Structure 1
Amino acid sequence: MSIVQISHLTFCYDGSSEDVFTDVSFQFDTCWRLGCTGRNGRGKTTLLRLLSGCLDSGGAVTLGGVRPVCFPFSGFDASLTPETLFTQWVPDVEPWRILCELSQLSLSEEVLHRPYHTLSGGEQTKLQLACLFSSDAVWPLIDEPTNHLDAMGREAVSQYLSSKDGFLLISHDRAFLDSAVDHMLVLERQKLEVLRGGYSTWAAEKQRRERWEAARNAQLKKEISRLDAAAKRAAQWSAKAEGEKFVSKPGQQGNIDRGYLGHKAAKMMKRSKSTEARLQRAAEEKRGLLRDVETSEALRLSPLPWRKSSSLISLEDVVLSYGGRQVCGPVNVSLSPGERMALLGPNGCGKSSLLRAVCEAAGYPQPDGPTLFRGKIQAGSGLIVSMVQQDAEGLTGDIRTFSQKHGLDLTLFLTLLRKMGFERSQFARRLEELSSGQKKKALLAASLATPAHLIIWDEPLNYIDILSRLQIEQLICESGASMLFVEHDAAFVQNTATRILRLSEEGQAIQP
């Protein structure tokens, strides 16, 4: 057991005018299963890099003797076999320990002898985690392991992690966090919070605290208004007292003692100024007590109405292939206006291929899309589609140019980004400089700002923070939009989908 101590940490990237962390202090135990979450851009990955020593903390981080190692590994030759790579990743790893860890993740020994780049994303994730936990000499720092894992893979990895002790895990998957961790580290707007329990424990405590703070803020704002009004009246009395020494009252007889009136006015003005200053100080103190409540504004979506009686799309005995190899089908399904259909199934069963084929049939060409080997895909006449792809890493240029390129209403686009947690200062940055979560938000905001009959999203929540997921859930449920989407966040699917189409490992529709 070791204690990680972070004392008065202030960190800013070179060339940036804004601190990622400002005078932050907290501590935690390395034997905890510590989950970490927070808005995109709040510094979660930066914190991992500070803890691992990839960034200089200026002596603010004390590790207590542990050796941190980050997941995912980087900077290695993916053409090598995992068996060869282990000595690069964790030099002191023992082969028999890796075999034990692989069995807990339901991976066969065979994956050790294949070139790393030939493994699926799920196999690569499980393999790296097995390597990390096969050494007692390291403290794992795990950055978003659920990206591109299917539902079964997430369940397997969450059960695996729940059997371990001593790691820090960044994730935005609510069910995954609840299953895998026993403490939470939450990065909010002005503070960091550490508490015992999983995501649901923190969410319940956050709701209770925000209700109390909202009530407290409302009371403080009333008091501030009252004090501001009182200060304003005091200023008016002061001005009146000063002016009265030069004005004769109607019917006043004889000589006016200007000295006496001036003395009296000066006393009144001094008392009024003192009262005004005291009231202003009190108002400022009340303003300082206003709580930092992390809020998320509701998003808005106005889908194009589909005034026809026909389905938006229909698939009849559809079989898809790549290079003559069948990847999906047969599938028979249709989507009616207002339905939100989730495509579920293991990695590699053809979910993304099916989405691409639908877009192609609707008149939206897809590079490297599948071939319609058999069957028929019918899209409604004049169907307008808005799509978000899995990968957001190819974005370049500035936000305004991106908006023009996609024919978006710039004001609406920026408003959506602001509501999803973008700071105004980030609008001036180039897209390639943003975090993976911020890039994905740019794609989502572009899709939401595009009028469409049908929204098609392929794993839209990869890298997206929990507050934004909740915003998007609410938006989808309230908008009445028609959707076809792939997503492995179980809570999101449960809360948004009106219908589920499951594909088997071979890509066959097993539940229309």
Structure 2
Amino acid sequence: MSLIQISNLTFSYDGSYDNIFENASFQIDSDWKLGFIGRNGRGKTTFFNLLLGKYEYSGQINSSVTFDYFPYEVKNKSELTLNILSEMSSQSEDWEFMRELSLLDIDVEVLYRPFETLSNGEQTKVLLAALFLKEGNFLLIDEPTNHLDALARKTVSNYLKTKKSFILVSHDREFLDESVDHILSINRENIEVQSGKFSTWWENKKRQDEYELKKNEGLKKDISRLKKSADRTSRWSDKVEKSKGVKVSGNKPDKGYVGHKSAKLMKRAKTLETRQNSALEEKIKLLKNIEQNDELKINPLKHHLNRLIEFSDVECFYGEHKVCGPISFIVENGDRVALNGSNGSGKTTILKMILGEQIKYTGQFNVASNLKISYVSQDTSGLKGNLQEYALMKDIDESLFKTILRKMDFERVQFEKNIEDFSSGQKKKVLIAASLCEEAHIYIWDEPLNYIDIFSRMQIEDLIEEFKPTMLFVEHDMFFREEIATKIINM
């Protein structure tokens, strides 16, 4: 066991006036299984790069451990997988690679295949296995679940239970709960470390937020009452002071008495002012870390037909290769249908058919006429230009589009940047915000939550539960799927 100590860490990117971190101080035990959470763009990947020594910073990072980063960059993907893993962890024997792969439900034959022939899920697993075999290193795991289906996520979380010495960035609440024993959170105003899994941290945060909101309301009332009392006392003091030398019923007042009374009232006014300032100082400390989950809105349309999409014994083919099927399901007005299946089971192919892509199939497939569809792709690589240009290209209201992004925690400074410079989560929010601007009969979303932070996922869940749009979606976040779906189609 050793400590990773962060002291007065301050960092900003060249050309930026805003610090990503400012005088941040905390410490981490190198034996912990640490979940790392925070809004998109708060600096999680930046912090990993600072630990890896990629950027200059002020302050101190003291550690006796060596850091490794996932995803590991494979330079020659045509190499045999075993050769790549041996290069990553040169001290490990072949039998050790085989043992780790068996824990991850991977057939050892993948070791003797070119790395590029492995699926995204298989690549994730073999790279994790090799990195964990490097004894004494501390692993920085950056969003490993984005290419994993629900079953693979469960397998990897079970694997991580047997390991230690890592920081895991993930926005999948169930995955975090199954994998970590501490939480490192980048809040709006500070960075904090708590013992326990994510759900424990979340309950603590809700209690703290509720306490601060109540305390804030109480202080607002106290400040208002104290201000009124101080103003009233000050007026009385002024009135008494002015009465010096004024005859009352022909008699001159006792100046000593009047002066004493005025001084007493002034003292009381000062006391009230001090209490008011103390309450203001206490109030200023509150609410700084409360995440503003502003309500999102959507304007779904209702089709004149109840049945919008129907698949009956459909099998899909690429050339002569069957991709999926037979599959049968119906989407009606008000349904929120989740397609569930392992990677490669044909979920995206089904969505592409509905969107009009020409795919060879057998069976019966029908889509209601004049069906307006809003689509969110799982791929963000084609996003270019600025937000104004994107809104124009999508033919959506720019003002509404940017308002939605602001509600999803975009800072105004982001509006001046090109989308290529956004974080992966911010790019995905661009796609979702554009979809929310569109009036549609059905919203088809393909893995919409990849890279999206936990707080924004909750916003989207609240939106869907309130407005109840008709949806067909693919999502491996089990918590989201079980909260939202009215039907689950297993493929």
Tell me the residue number matched to 1:288.
Answer: 284
Tell me the residue number matched to 1:120.
Answer: 119
Cα distance in 1 for residues equivalent to 2:358 and 2:181: 43
How is 1:179-258 mapped onto 2 (pairs within 5 angstroms)?
Answer: 179-229=178-228
Tell me the residue number matched to 1:402.
Answer: 390
Tell me the residue number matched to 1:74.
Answer: 73
Tell me the residue number matched to 2:458.
Answer: 470
Tell me the residue number matched to 1:152.
Answer: 151
Are the equivalent residues in 2 in contact too, given 1:397–1:432 (CA < 8 A)?
A: yes
Aligned residue pair count? 488
How is 1:76-475 mapped onto 2 (pairs within 5 angstroms)?
Answer: 76-229=75-228, 278=274, 281-282=277-278, 284-360=280-356, 369=357, 371-475=359-463
Q: Cα deviations across residues 215-259 of structure 1 (Å, max 9, x unaligned)? A: 1111122223334555666887899999x89xx99xx99xxxxxx
TM-score normalized by the length of structure 1? 0.87
- What secondary structure is seen at the aligned counterpart in 2 of 1:312? strand
Cα distance in 2 for residues equivalent to 1:186 and 1:502: 35
Q: Unpaired runs of 5+ in structure 1?
A: 254-262, 361-368, 504-512
- What secondary structure is seen at the aligned counterpart in 2 of 1:60? strand
Cα distance in 2 for residues equivalent to 1:228 and 1:358: 64
Cα distance in 2 for residues equivalent to 1:14 and 1:88: 34
466, 481, 484: which is aligned to 2:472? 484
Letter in 2 for 1:495: E
Cα distance in 2 for residues equivalent to 1:323 and 1:236: 90
- What secondary structure is seen at the aligned counterpart in 2 of 1:218? helix
- What secondary structure is seen at the aligned counterpart in 2 of 1:335? strand
Cα distance in 1 for residues equivalent to 2:14 and 2:139: 27
Are the equivalent residues in 2 in contact too, given 1:182–1:196 (CA < 8 A)?
A: yes
Offset, 1:452: 0.8
Tell me the residue number matched to 1:22.
Answer: 22
Q: Cα deviations across residues 350-406 of structure 1 (Å, max 9, x unaligned)? A: 00111111111xxxxxxxx56132234322122111110001132111112212221
Cα distance in 2 for residues equivalent to 1:370 and 1:272: 82
Offset, 1:145: 0.6
Letter in 1 for 2:75: F
Are the equivalent residues in 1 in contact too, given 2:219–2:279 (CA < 8 A)?
A: no
Letter in 2 for 1:112: L
Cα distance in 1 for residues equivalent to 2:413 and 2:228: 34
* Counterparts in 2 of 1:113 and 1:236: CA distance versus 1, 3 Å: farther
* Counterparts in 2 of 1:301 and 1:281: CA distance versus 1, 3 Å: closer
- What secondary structure is seen at the aligned counterpart in 2 of 1:432? helix
- What secondary structure is seen at the aligned counterpart in 1 of 2:192? strand
Cα distance in 2 for residues equivalent to 1:138 and 1:193: 23
Letter in 2 for 1:24: A
Offset, 1:25: 0.7
Tell me the residue number matched to 2:254.
Answer: none
Letter in 2 for 1:119: L
Offset, 1:280: 6.9
Offset, 1:79: 2.0
Letter in 1 for 2:360: L
Offset, 1:35: 0.9
Tell me the residue number matched to 1:501.
Answer: 489
Following TM superposition, the consecutive aligned residue runs of length 4 or more in structure 1 with deviations greater than 4 angstroms are: 227-242, 266-280
- What secondary structure is seen at the aligned counterpart in 2 of 1:297? coil
Are the equivalent residues in 2 in contact too, given 1:353–1:370 (CA < 8 A)?
A: no
Letter in 2 for 1:353: T
- What secondary structure is seen at the aligned counterpart in 1 of 2:51? helix
Percent identical among aligned pairs is 44
Are the equivalent residues in 2 in contact too, given 1:318–1:372 (CA < 8 A)?
A: no
Are the equivalent residues in 1 in contact too, given 2:340–2:490 (CA < 8 A)?
A: yes
Are the equivalent residues in 1 in contact too, given 2:234–2:266 (CA < 8 A)?
A: no
Cα distance in 2 for residues equivalent to 1:95 and 1:104: 15
- What secondary structure is seen at the aligned counterpart in 2 of 1:16? coil
Tell me the residue number matched to 2:51.
Answer: 51
Are the equivalent residues in 1 in contact too, given 2:293–2:407 (CA < 8 A)?
A: yes
Offset, 1:270: 9.3
Are the equivalent residues in 1 in contact too, given 2:10–2:59 (CA < 8 A)?
A: no
